[in-house]
Amino acid sequence: MLRSILSDDLPKSRWLALALVAILVGLAVAPFLFPGAKSLNVAAKICVFIVLAASFDLLLGYTGIVSFAHTMFFGIGAYGVAISLTRMGAGWDAVAVGVVAGLVVAIVLATVIGLFSLRVRTIFFAMITLAVASAFAILASQLSDLTGGEDGLNYRLPAALRASFSFGDTLFGVRLNGRLLDYYLVYAASLALILVLLRIVNSPFGSVLMAIRENPFRAEAIGYRTVVYRTIASCIAAATAALAGALLALWSSQTNPDTTLSFDIMVDILLMVVIGGMGTMYGAVIGAVLLVFAQNYLQDLLAIANKALAGVPLLANLFHPDRWLLWLGVAFILCVYFFPAGIVGRLRQKR
Amino acid sequence: MAEPLLSLRGVQTNIGRYHILHGVEFDVAEGGLTMLLGRNGAGKTTTLRTIMGMWRAAAGEIRFDGRDITHLATPDIARLGIAYVPESMAIFADLTVQENLVLAARSGPPDQKRLDWIFARFEALKRFWTLPAGHLSGGQKQMLAVARAIIEPRRLLLIDEPTKGLAPAIIANMIDAFRELKDGESTLLVVEQNFAFARQLGDTVAVMDDGRVAHQGSMAAFAADSALQQHLLGLGMDTHQ
Amino acid sequence: MKRDWLPLLLIPALMIGALPLIGSPASWVTLTVAGLAMGLMIFIMASGLTLTFGLMDVLNFGHGAFIAVGAFVAASVMLALAPWMTADSIWLNLAAIGPAVLAAMVVSGVLGLGFERIIVRPVYGQHLKQILVTTGGLIVAEQLLKVIWGPDQITLSRPTALRGAFLFGDVAIEKYRVLAVVVGLVVFAALALTLNRTRLGLLIRAGVENGEMVEALGYRIRRLFVGVFVVGSALAGLGGAMWGLYQETVTAAIGAQVAVLVFIVIIIGGLGSVGGCFVGALLVGLTANYIGFLAPKVALGSNILLMAMVLLWRPQGLYPVAKR
């Protein structure tokens, strides 16, 4: 049963299994365990980023290609829902239109970029996606009639997802309102998407991707059209990222370039996948949780160090709370050199 | 007996996951020309590249002029006086013929007398002196590749299939050039498929089979032993072209 | 000698094509000079990157870090020499800019040496790791810039002599842009002369084509590569300093922003080709300025369009480098 839900891809490490169960259960009971808008927000973000990172792992870890345009697809999904909710009013029809439109745009764009540049080399694809993504981000902030420009869009969610919607009194002291419903929508959708991704990477299609990653020439010689497989993988990843974006838009009732399209988000995804463990799927889960936590709590830790070093000029800056990315960046480089399979790889070795 | 100029002992080379050389052993005596023969895939090219350090020997020892060069870097091996002409020729297509030769002459501008000597044999190089080498014909590229190796005196020349794609008249010039070189300043180790050519030039012969040297001896003896040729090369020498 | 002039003709073609669209010749001249200035600054930053790629098959996604460092170092020096910058003498102005630019180049170059050693060297030949690790290097470098110079942007004003514009009738040409064009052309000429007229250049060109054979001829290409990497980093620093003065603000994100333009340029030019990089940079600079005038909202999208069109015409870029 469990085996089949996980597509036969078991954690293969007691500690990893424990961590995954803790994440699964922790996120499921988060609204009751840590009540309050802020912590619920963190939990929802974790769900969305798990999907986003996992879909990126399909590209980076399983297919062996680096795309810097993953946030672009994330943004397309988010803006799809945001624009349709702004234009069509706060109904579920608008959500459906937005999700479908976002998916279509993402898949078409991914196909074009893929066919254009995936036949060449990894480096070429990475550069082209970087260029396209940055142009897209600027375009999105320029077309302010449609996207709200730098400020983004603020819109009303469907009534059932608003705080004012109530479907009962309280449970364990938590109000049963639309936000709770919204959280579980995000949670359930994220869980489903992760299981789908697990199925994909463990299917025959997934094995072909890994064969291409190991040796593209050989795969081509056996008869697999590597361009086609890579492009399909990149479409699946783009579509999943767009869905993650749609979930974010449905959660936060506001969408702007900083939270969906910026290069900072791209860096976050890279860190999540590499530190968590490339090519393992579970690594993306661990990495996403770790990074969102780090964003929120590494800062506090650094603030303590910062205070202790208050007198020392440069050193104090090194431990400034805003410099958490510096330390994760160093961890990232060390991971690429010494632990290419990241945290998950380490855990599996120890088993 | 004097120490050989080049000797390989138990050399093993892997390319990726493939084990290509399984313990190559042979000697090249100073002066003269050794032909390295064998079927396709026997490991001849890999042997030359391993000597040059372009592929690392996983085991064994390569000695040149009394010193262990197994672990030296390619440029350092070249600087001991070894020149290499790869089968792909590897001429620099964006550079002119002149620039290709200027680059090959490490110790300064090419010596004019030496150039004239090369031009006498490979006349096309003079004619296309300022043309980008990419525009040369296949045979002319081959001449340039050989000229690059001999633009300055080198002690050992490693040459991979010099006659491939060459017209007979040019092959004759090539034979002249190699004769003069081996009688004078250089020792040559030549991989060859063209048997008529090999027989005319070779003093000694080493025959490879499946990543090893299966036979080494004088060319005269090998040329006379058609049973051995049949066994090692699959074809009699006279029919092999 | 046969040469491929077609890509070169694109530049005048683009200029002439833009004239009727823009209408006013005065604006056209201003935009053209602006485009050339921008293009040449990008060329300065991109040339080292394309060469290191050609020579060692290494693409440094952290190249932007050198650009940013150059901008910050130059800004610090110029701020320290503020009285000379604001003085009403071109010589005092230059006495401030000179050391600033020199310092930018030296610091970027030294940083390049360290970057090559620590970040790039362990991952030769592994493209995926190369992209990841050099991106990681960019992240860390950007954060370190904030540690050293603080998180806020630095405002920088041009020295007195380089403010304002030359006026010819109703045509206005900013002085700083003229300087940028001159410096860009000098760098291009120096690179072209080195590559085509010196033995070192011969080695680099041969190495771009087939590094293994250059080694078989007895040259240590690794050392050559480190040299090119350092010079390329120093040029990125020079470009960064110039870009900072051009924008009159310096932020830690400057590197990543400009790096995108740099990537577009070297893709358009053909990875590894300095000539292609030159043509590509001018095309990008001109297009950005013309479109920025005609349809400001899609200005950056225009570069992507330009790249797509070039790649449809020549999938390997304008000047594909012959490879083994």
Q: What are phi and psi of A46, to 5 degrees?
A: -60, -45
- The structure tokens listed for A213 are 């990653």
Which among B75, B88, B96 is the nearest to C220, CB-wise?
B75
Confidence category of residue B236, pLDDT binned at 50, 70, 90: very low
Any chain C CB within 8 A of the CB of B90? yes
ipTM rounded to 2 decimals: 0.90
More confident residue, A31 or C14: C14
Confidence category of residue A136, pLDDT binned at 50, 70, 90: confident
Per the prediction, chain B carries an average pLDDT of 88
Domains and CATH numbers, chain C: 6-313 (1.10.3470)
Q: How many CB pairs (< 8 A) connect A and C?
A: 106
Percent of chain C scoring above 70 in pLDDT: 98
Q: How many helices (H) and strands (E) does chain B have?
A: 10, 10
Prediction pTM value = 0.85
State the pLDDT at residue C240.
Answer: 94
Confidence category of residue A99, pLDDT binned at 50, 70, 90: very high
Per-residue model confidence as pLDDT tens digits over C19-34: 888 888 888 999 999 9
Per-residue model confidence as pLDDT tens digits over B75-97: 999 999 999 999 988 999 989 99
State the pLDDT at residue B149.
Answer: 93
Confidence category of residue C322, pLDDT binned at 50, 70, 90: low
* Torsion on CA atoms B173, B177, B182, B183, rounded to nearest 10: 100
State the pLDDT at residue B77.
Answer: 95
Per-residue model confidence as pLDDT tens digits over B98-124: 999 999 999 888 889 999 999 998 888
Q: What are phi and psi of B57, to 5 degrees?
A: -75, 130
pLDDT at B170 over 60: yes
Per-residue model confidence as pLDDT tens digits over A333-342: 988 888 888 8
The residues near B47 (Cβ < 8 Å, ≥ 6 apart) are B8, B11, B21, B24, B36, B208
pLDDT at C128 over 90: no
Per-residue model confidence as pLDDT tens digits over A52-72: 999 999 999 898 888 999 999
Choose from C2, C195, C213 for mutation: most chain B CBs within 10 A.
Answer: C213
Distance (Å, whole) CA A102 – CA A96: 10
Q: Are A273 and A61 in contact (CB under 8 A)?
A: yes
Structural element, H or E, at residue A41: helix A37-57
The residues near C90 (Cβ < 8 Å, ≥ 6 apart) are C161
Distance (Å, whole) CA A266 – CA A336: 17
Best CA proximity match to C238, nearest among C79, C48, C94, C61: C48
Best CA proximity match to B144, nearest among B169, B162, B167, B168: B162
State the pLDDT at residue A350.
Answer: 65
State the pLDDT at residue B240.
Answer: 42
Which residue range(s) make up the domain with A12? 2-350
More confident residue, B158 or C171: B158
Distance (Å, whole) CA B12 – CA B18: 11
Q: According to the 3-state scheme, what is the secondary structure of chain C?
A: CCCCCHHHHHHHHHHHHHHHHHCCHHHHHHHHHHHHHHHHHHHHHHHHHHHHHHHHCCCCCCHHHHHHHHHHHHHHHHHHCHHHHHCCCHHHHHHHHHHHHHHHHHHHHHHHHHHHHHHHHHHCCCHHHHHHHHHHHHHHHHHHHHHHHCCCCEECCCCHHHCCEEEECCEEEEHHHHHHHHHHHHHHHHHHHHHHHCHHHHHHHHHHHHHHHHHHCCCCHHHHHHHHHHHHHHHHHHHHHHHHHHHCEECCCHHHHHHHHHHHHHHHHCCCCHHHHHHHHHHHHHHHHHHHHHCHHHHHHHHHHHHHHHHHHCCCCCCCCCCC
Could you say which DSSP state residue A157 is in? P
Distance (Å, whole) CA A343 – CA A281: 12
Best CA proximity match to C117, nearest among C147, C139, C131, C137: C137
Per-residue model confidence as pLDDT tens digits over A255-281: 888 888 888 899 899 999 999 988 888
Q: What is the mean pLDDT of the segment spanning A82-97?
A: 88
Which residues does chain A have within 8 Å of residue C140's beta carbon, measured at their own beta carbons? 326, 329-330, 333
Buried b (16+ CB within 10 A) or exposed e, C186-195: ebbeebeebb
Provide the pairing of β-strand C171-174 with C165-168. antiparallel
pLDDT at B7 over 80: yes
Which residues does chain B have within 8 Å of residue C215's beta carbon, measured at their own beta carbons? 54, 73-75, 78
pLDDT at C312 over 60: yes
Distance (Å, whole) CA C41 – CA C181: 8
State the pLDDT at residue B128.
Answer: 93
State the pLDDT at residue A165.
Answer: 75
Altogether, the residues listed in chain A come to a count of 351
Domains: count for chain A: 1
Distance (Å, whole) CA B64 – CA C153: 61
Tell me the nearest-neighbour CA distance from C119 into chain A, angstroms: 8
From C214, which residue of chain B is nearest by alpha-carbon distance? B75
State the pLDDT at residue B5.
Answer: 92
Per the prediction, chain A carries an average pLDDT of 86
pLDDT at B239 over 60: no
pLDDT at A111 over 90: yes
State the pLDDT at residue C3.
Answer: 63
**CATH code for the domain in which residue A162 is found:** 1.10.3470
Answer yes or no: do A128 and C315 touch at CB < 8 A: no
Q: What is the mean pLDDT of the segment spanning C264-293?
A: 92
Helix (H, G, I), strand (E, B) or coil at B95: coil
Q: What is the mean pLDDT of the segment spanning A282-310?
A: 82
**Sign of the CA dihedral running A218, A222, A225, A229:** negative
From C1, which residue of chain B is nearest by alpha-carbon distance? B131
